Amino acid sequence: MGLDNLHGPIPKVEVHSTVKAYKEKEGRYRLRGVRCDDCGEIWFPRRFVCPKCQSTHLSPYLCARTGRIITSWVDTMGFPAIGYEDIDERVVAMIRLDDGVTVIGEIADCHAEVPKDTPVEMVIRAQKRDDTGNLMYGFKFVCI
Ligand SMILES: [Zn+2]
């Protein structure tokens, strides 16, 4: 693609739709991933093929709802990202769940970094807006 195509349509990187969110409702609302029947590895978000052994024999797996903070940071964004226009800043954390699964999620009701090893629990909260302005809900974590 040359520079003469600069006035063409702007490609969209990610689509935020409630339909897509509904299809992933088990992961968004219940932290449901998959476990490989052949090698036993757990994957979240769910996969259709095991990245470790390429098996397609995967069973639903419900991740633990509690865990501990590995690290956290304040995401100020600096610019209005799609879906987050009405959110100033948010605290994002890497969390090790009690069953060993590592997830990245937002910390609700919090405006500063959270110390390492703080226990957290999963909750359902409004996350962002989709392309039509509807609120999208999904998992976040609160300190317990
Ligand atoms: Zn596997």
pTM, 2 dp: 0.80
Statement to judge: residues 44 and 78 lie in one domain = no
- Identify the CATH number of the domain in which residue 141 sits: 2.40.50
Statement to judge: residues 54 and 100 lie in one domain = no
Centroid of ligand 1 to alpha carbon of 44 (angstroms): 13
Statement to judge: residues 96 and 140 lie in one domain = yes
| Domain boundaries, position 99 | 64-144
Total domains present in the chain: 2
pLDDT digits (tens, 9 = 90+) for 91-126: 999 999 999 999 999 999 888 899 999 999 999 998
Centroid of ligand 1 to alpha carbon of 140 (angstroms): 28
pLDDT at 29 over 70: yes
* 5 assigned to some structural domain: no
Centroid of ligand 1 to alpha carbon of 121 (angstroms): 28
* 19 assigned to some structural domain: yes
Statement to judge: residues 68 and 48 lie in one domain = no
Backbone φ and ψ for 34, nearest 5 degrees, come out as -135, 155
pLDDT at 86 over 80: no
pLDDT digits (tens, 9 = 90+) for 32-76: 999 999 999 999 999 999 999 999 999 999 999 999 999 999 987
